[in-house]
Every structure is written in C-alpha cells, then in structure tokens.
Amino acid sequence: MPLWHPIRSPGIGCAATPGTNTTKKAHQLASAAIPRPQQALDPEAAQVTFAYAGPANNQEGPGGWAAAVVQAGQAEIFSGGYRRTSANHLVLLAAADLLPQLPPERKLHIFCENSYLLDGATQWASGWQANGWRKKDGAPVRFAADWQRLLAAMQGRSIQWSKNKGLDPELAKTLKQVAGKARQQYDEWS
C-alpha cells in the first residue's frame, strides 16, 4: 500500500509533504520554472513534472516520488513512497498514484525524463494489453497490474506526454527534496 498524500495549503494553492518547508518555495519555483518542450503547450493543460528518490537501476529498495502540477500560476506538490521498489517500477507507481488524484476533466501535459514510463504509456502498453499482458517474445509484462492501473487512470483523460528536456534547477532541487523525504519514511523499515 503506497503512502500518498497531498497536503493543501490554503491561500497559495499548493500542496507539500507534511513536515517540509517547501510549499511556498515550490509554488514560486513551479509557477516560474515550467519545463519548456519543443512542441507547443496547450494553455489550458496543467503541466506535470516528476522527481524520484529511489534505488539504483536493477536494484530494489525504498523509493519516494514527488510531482509538481502547475496550472494558471498555481502549483501543487504531491508525493508518495514505497517500502520496496525498483527505479522503473517507482516511476510507473508515481504516475499511477498521481493521476486518480487529479480531476478527470483536467487536461494534462506530463513531462517525463524516464523512457520506461514515457514509452510504456505512449507506445507499449496498448500492445501489451492487446497481447494479454505479454511482450512480443511471449514473456509476461513486469508490473502488469500497475500498468493496468495507469491505463485505467488515463482512460477518458486528455493527456499529452513529452520527454523532459530538463527542469529549472531550483524546481528540480525542490522536487528531489520532497521525493527524498517521502523515501526517508521507508528507509528505516528496510
């Protein structure tokens, strides 16, 4: 069961992980430092950017994630964590955890630096689903239940996915700190 909890802060339209002093700073940074894709942005879409603090590739351990959701100059920071996960699984879980928490009618532009999530959501998952959650070689898809959860959360939404070409360093630092705090809750349980 994931630990997931946005904490809304009245007056500035932000959310942050409890016990952090990042709410106001994250709002200021996210409002001013949105990733700039090469394609045109939909001015009505909320812009979503993730950061992760997890195990190294091909290893398992505790992991935390944070996401900035920016729309109309207002920012919300969401976070969550898991006791045991891998790097690729963590990014999938972050998206699958976040989307159901956002209103379904809200247009989203998701910026992602992780090819596993980006390619999976935009190219591979529909093929896996059509193939009974098996890859081309017949092997079962890893994390199929979580991919199914993500596809269900994406259903009926207007979502544009883009490769993240880099964040403003201050926003990236803030998101990494929030993700790190989400992970720390699980470090002592490992």
Question: Mean pLDDT in runs of 10 for the chain (190 residues)?
Answer: 35 35 41 43 83 81 92 87 92 96 94 92 95 96 97 95 77 89 78
Residue-level pLDDT at 145: 97
Residue 40 lies in a domain: yes
Q: Give me the amino acid identity at 135.
A: K
Sheet holding 108-112, edge to edge: 3-4, 74-85, 61-71, 46-53, 108-112, 159-163
- The CATH number of the domain holding residue 72 is 3.30.420
Q: How many domains does the chain have?
A: 1
Q: What range does the domain containing 66 cover?
A: 3-113+159-187
Residue-level pLDDT at 107: 95
Residue 119 lies in a domain: no
Q: What's the CA gap between 113 and 162, in Å, rounded?
A: 9
Residue 175 lies in a domain: yes
Residue 151 lies in a domain: no
Residue 126 lies in a domain: no
Rounded to two decimals, what is the model's pTM? 0.77
Residue 146 lies in a domain: no
Residue 21 lies in a domain: yes
